[in-house]
Every structure is written in structure tokens, then in C-alpha cells.
Amino acid sequence: MNLTYLLVHGAWHDGQCWKRVAPLLAAEGHRVLTPSLTGHGDKAHLLGPEVGLTTHVDDITGLVLDQDLRDVVLVGHSYGGMVVSGVANRVPERLARLVYLDAMVPEHGETAVDVVPPTQTLIDQAAGGPTPWRIPPLPELPPPFGLFGVTDPEDIAWLRTTLVDESVRCFQQPAELDDPAQESIPRVHIHCVGHGPDGITRRPVPKTRPGGAPVRVHELQAGHDAMITHPAEVAALLLGHA
């Protein structure tokens, strides 16, 4: 069965981060879309203090409806987990599966800060600067952490060219997950393990959703941006081959 894979990037990144995974999915006969959210990539000029989680949910929901997409495997990386959760609430009937790639997984009414409390530190740091509404990308750390888990010098240099600031509002707007239908969507969680920074804890994942939908959890020995460093492994998990 041919599916549509809709890959949603995380904070500071853009759709280019999927450039190594997308061809592997397409080679299996699937349609692959890798849009950049408002304020990122080809939409970087639209970044402003009013851009928030709702903006990004609107982006992806609009794409699904405008292109009449169905049987969608909706993948969210990092902050993108907040986005795909909101999209699932809007158009649950369009989705075949939700995939959280080392992603934030909110409950109804939660913000990114609720899901990953250290995010508040980034907001506080921005508040003391000249543009308190914008948060710059995280800095590169010594190995094995690197830049979002990317350690190859050439990959780091390329990744830096794609990163842009994020609006504080993205981390402060609550997820809207009040449609019970979204609970019936099968879910896959891919946890990147072995290279996580201190202070970040991951919530336990239940074996089933309240609506009874199955939940699968995979662990991948990779840094946070596994789609860049381990594209074959990520693609295999997305395809259900691993």
C-alpha cells in the first residue's frame, strides 16, 4: 500500500533536515513531503513574535487539506511532536499513523515547556535580550553531543546554514487535543538513546492509547538529529522494516 509520508521538522530546523531520509521512503513507492514551517526555510522571512504552535499546526493541517492527503504517516521530530499532535486533533481521519521521532509528546493543554521543562531556560535567556520573542538555536556541544547530536564537521557546517531562530510563542502555546478521535490513531515512538544531554527526562510511553490504539516504541542508538546521522535506520523504522 502506497502511503504519504509527511515529515515535520523540529525547532530551529527546516524541511531540508529530511533530505537523506526522504529518498529512501520514495524509493519504496511512497509519496514524501518535507515542508518547512512558518519562520523556517523558504518561509524564514515570515518569522515574528506572533508565530506559535497554532501557526505551525495550521501550516500542516492546511497542507493536508489543500492537497487532499489521505493515508498519511505523519512524522514529527522534537518540537515537531507538538505540531503533529495538534494536526492529529484536527484531521484524525486523514492519518494512517503518527510517528514521534525523539519528539515532544503533549497531553491536552500542555505546552512545550510542560513537556520539556528546561525549555523555560531558553525563554528566560531570550527575555533578557534585545528581541525577547526570539530564541537562537542551541550551541554546539563537545562530542558526543555535538550540534543536536550531529558530530561530523561537514554535517555540522551544513546544518548551521539551515538553522534559524524560533519564536517564544511556539513553546508557550498549549496543545489542543480535545477530539477523542485522535486517540484511535496508531502511534510509533522512536527514542534516540545513548547520547542525550543531562537534565532531559523522557516520559514513559503507555502500551496503548486511551482509545485503544496500539503504541510501538523503538530505541535507536543515535543523537537527537538521527534523520541526519542515521537516515537508513530512521527510514527502516518509518517503513516498518525494523
Place of cell 523555560: 120
| Tens of pLDDT, residues 82-110 | 999 999 999 999 999 999 999 999 999 99
What is d(CA 52, CA 84) in angstroms, rounded to the nearest whole number?
14
Superfamily of domain 4-239: Alpha/Beta hydrolase fold, catalytic domain (3.40.50.1820)
Confidence of residue 233 (pLDDT cuts 50, 70, 90): very high
pLDDT of residue 139: 93
**From 78, 85, 167, 184, active-site residue:** 78
What is the residue extent of each domain of the chain? 4-239
What average pLDDT does the structure give for the chain? 94
Q: What is the pLDDT of residue 206?
A: 82
- Rounded to two decimals, the pTM is 0.96
Looking at 1-154, which runs of residues are DSSP E strands?
Answer: 4-8, 31-33, 72-77, 95-101, 134-135
Give the span between the Cα atoms of 28 and 31, in whole angstroms.
9
Q: Is 184 among the residues known to form the active site? A: no
Do 159 and 188 form a contact (C-beta atoms < 8 A)?
no
> Is the confidence at residue 119, as pLDDT, over 60?
yes
Q: Looking at 50-64, 95-109, 146-160, 197-211, which range is the least confident one?
A: 197-211
Percentage of the chain exceeding pLDDT 90? 86
